[in-house]
Amino acid sequence: MKYIDSNMLIYATLDDNKKGEWCRSLLKKIEDGDEKAGTSYLTYDEVLWKIDKATSKEDALEVVETILTMPNLRFFEVDSEVIWKAHQLIKREDFDPRDAIHLSTAVNHGIYTIVSEDTDFDKTSEVEREWMV
């Protein structure tokens, strides 16, 4: 299973170039059941906010509704266990809070591959980052 970072979903929505095409291709594989994937409910916030700023609230709501109902994309809760692990990651490896929550969510669910453009995930040995392969 792969963990999908919010930037991948944002590129899939807003980028008409190579990045967007690659992201949409991976989302199609997830939707078709060829790839197993999950993400945090934090992703809802990040995607909604970014799409709203780039286009409109209506477009953003439509995009996140599509993501929330996408077949084969699991959403994971952000609970106290995730937050405490994120807190430790921030202290130990100086992650930004949102990245720490994503990383903590992935690891807490046994996911060790994060699909993300964010190179901050490269500074930990807990996961491997995948991007445009």
The residues spanned by each domain of the chain are 2-130
Counting residues of the chain whose pLDDT is more than 90, the rounded percentage is 98
> For position 119, what pLDDT does the model report?
96
Average confidence score pLDDT of the chain? 97
> For position 133, what pLDDT does the model report?
76
Q: What confidence tens digit (pLDDT) does each residue in 92-126 have?
A: 998 999 999 999 999 999 999 999 999 999 999 99
H or E segment and range at residue 22? helix 18-32
**Reported pTM:** 0.95
Give the residue carrying structure tokens 């106290």.
80
Q: Of all residues in the chain, what percent are helix, strand and coil, respectively (each to 5)?
A: 60, 15, 25
Contact between residue 76 and residue 38 where contact means Cβ atoms under 8 Å apart: yes
> For position 94, what pLDDT does the model report?
87
> For position 108, what pLDDT does the model report?
96
Q: Whole-angstrom Cα distance, residue 88 to residue 69?
A: 32
3-state SS, residue 86: helix
Answer whether CATH 3.40.50.2000 is correct for domain 2-130.
Answer: no
**Neighbouring-strand partners of residue 129:** 114
Q: How many CA atoms lie within 13 A of 69 on its CB side?
A: 5
Instruction: Kindly tell me if the per-residue pLDDT of 71 is higher than 90.
Output: yes
